[in-house]
Structure 1
Amino acid sequence: MPARSPGISRRAFVRSAVAIGGASALAACLDRASEDLPQASTDPDALPERQHAWNEYLPTDEHGNDVGLEHNVLLDLEYVGDDIEGDREVVESALRTVERAYERGEGGIGFTLGYSPSYFGRFDDALPESVDLPAPERLAPFEDPALDDSDALLHLASNHGHALMGVEEALTGELDDLNGIAVEEDLSGVLEVVGRRSGFNGEGLPADHQDEIAEIANQEPIDDDAPLWMGFKSGFTHNQASEDRVTIEDGPFAGGTTEHLSKIDLNLRQWYLQDSRDQRVSKMFCPAHAEEGRVEGAGQNLGDSTGIEDCPSAEESASEGVVGHAQKVHRVREGDEPLLLRRDFSSSDGGEAATHFLSLQRSIADFVDTRAAMNGTDLDSATGIRNNNGILQYVDVQRRANYLVPPRSHRSLPRPNPE
Structure 2
Amino acid sequence: MNGSDRGLSRRAFVRSAVAIGGASALAACLQREETEDVPQAALSPAELPDRQHAWNEFLATDDHGNIEPPEHHLLLGLEYVGDGPADADGEREQLEAAFRTLETAYKRGNEGLAFTIGYGPAYFDRFEADLPESVDLPDPEALAPIEDPELDEYDALVHLASDYGHVTLSAEEALKGELEEINGLEVEDSFEGVFDVAERRAGFIGSGLPAERQSGVSGIPDSEPVPEDAPMFMGFKSGFRKTQASEDRVTIQDGPFASGTTIHLSKIRLHLHQWYEQDSRDIRVSKMFSPTHADEGLVDGAGDNLGDSSRIAEVGGDAAEAARRGTVGHAQKAARAREDGEPIILRRDFDSTDDDAAATHFLSLQRSIADFVKTREAMTGSDLTEGSVSSRTNNGILQYIRVRNRANYLVPPRGLRALPEPNPDSA
SS in structure 2 of the partner of residue 50 of structure 1: coil
Say whether residues 1:398 and 2:404 are aligned partners: yes
Deviation of the 1:238 alpha carbon: 0.5
SS in structure 1 of the partner of residue 61 of structure 2: coil
Say whether residues 1:258 and 2:265 are aligned partners: no
Deviation of the 1:29 alpha carbon: 1.1
Pairing of 1:223-234 with structure 2 (within 5 A): 223-234=227-238
- Deviation sequence 1:336-361 (CA, Å, 0-9, x none): 11010000000011110000000000
The answer for the alignment partner of 1:88 in structure 2 is 92
The answer for the alignment partner of 1:272 in structure 2 is 276
Deviation of the 1:216 alpha carbon: 3.2
SS in structure 2 of the partner of residue 258 of structure 1: strand
Equivalents in 2 of 1:214, 1:315: separation in Å? Answer: 34
Say whether residues 1:368 and 2:369 are aligned partners: no
Equivalents in 1 of 2:174, 2:232: separation in Å? Answer: 30
- TM-score, normalisation: structure 1: 0.96
| Cα-Cα RMSD | 1.5
Deviation of the 1:218 alpha carbon: 3.9
Pairing of 1:93-172 with structure 2 (within 5 A): 93-172=97-176
Greater Cα offset, 173-182 or 245-254 = 173-182
Deviation of the 1:160 alpha carbon: 1.1
Deviation of the 1:6 alpha carbon: 7.1
Equivalents in 1 of 2:418, 2:275: separation in Å? Answer: 43
Unaligned runs of 5+ in 2: none
Pairing of 1:18-417 with structure 2 (within 5 A): 18-41=18-41, 42-81=43-82, 83-216=87-220, 218-309=222-313, 310-386=315-391, 387-417=393-423
Equivalents in 1 of 2:221, 2:320: separation in Å? Answer: 37
Greater Cα offset, 22-31 or 137-146 = 22-31
Distance 1:379 1:406, change over 3 A: same
Equivalents in 2 of 1:154, 1:50: separation in Å? Answer: 15
Equivalents in 2 of 1:245, 1:7: separation in Å? Answer: 39
Deviation of the 1:382 alpha carbon: 3.9
Distance 1:267 1:81, change over 3 A: same
Amino acid in structure 1 at the alignment position of 2:105 = A
Q: Which runs of 4+ in 1 moved over 4 A?
A: 5-8
Q: Do the aligned partners of 1:72 and 1:156 also contact (CA within 8 Å) in 2? A: yes
SS in structure 2 of the partner of residue 141 of structure 1: coil
- Deviation sequence 1:110-149 (CA, Å, 0-9, x none): 0000000010001011000000000000100010000000
Equivalents in 1 of 2:236, 2:419: separation in Å? Answer: 39
Greater Cα offset, 401-410 or 39-48 = 39-48
Distance 1:107 1:78, change over 3 A: same
SS in structure 2 of the partner of residue 9 of structure 1: helix
Say whether residues 1:13 and 2:13 are aligned partners: yes
- Deviation sequence 1:246-271 (CA, Å, 0-9, x none): 00000000000000000000111121
Deviation of the 1:35 alpha carbon: 4.8
Deviation of the 1:13 alpha carbon: 1.7
Equivalents in 2 of 1:138, 1:123: separation in Å? Answer: 25
SS in structure 2 of the partner of residue 167 of structure 1: helix
Equivalents in 2 of 1:176, 1:168: separation in Å? Answer: 13
Distance 1:319 1:208, change over 3 A: same
Identity %: 62
Equivalents in 1 of 2:389, 2:168: separation in Å? Answer: 47
Greater Cα offset, 306-315 or 141-150 = 306-315
Deviation of the 1:384 alpha carbon: 3.8
Distance 1:214 1:125, change over 3 A: closer
- Deviation sequence 1:197-244 (CA, Å, 0-9, x none): 100010001110110314535413111100011000000000000000
Equivalents in 2 of 1:305, 1:184: separation in Å? Answer: 43
- TM-score, normalisation: structure 2: 0.95
Equivalents in 1 of 2:111, 2:26: separation in Å? Answer: 18
Greater Cα offset, 45-54 or 213-222 = 213-222
Equivalents in 2 of 1:45, 1:11: separation in Å? Answer: 34
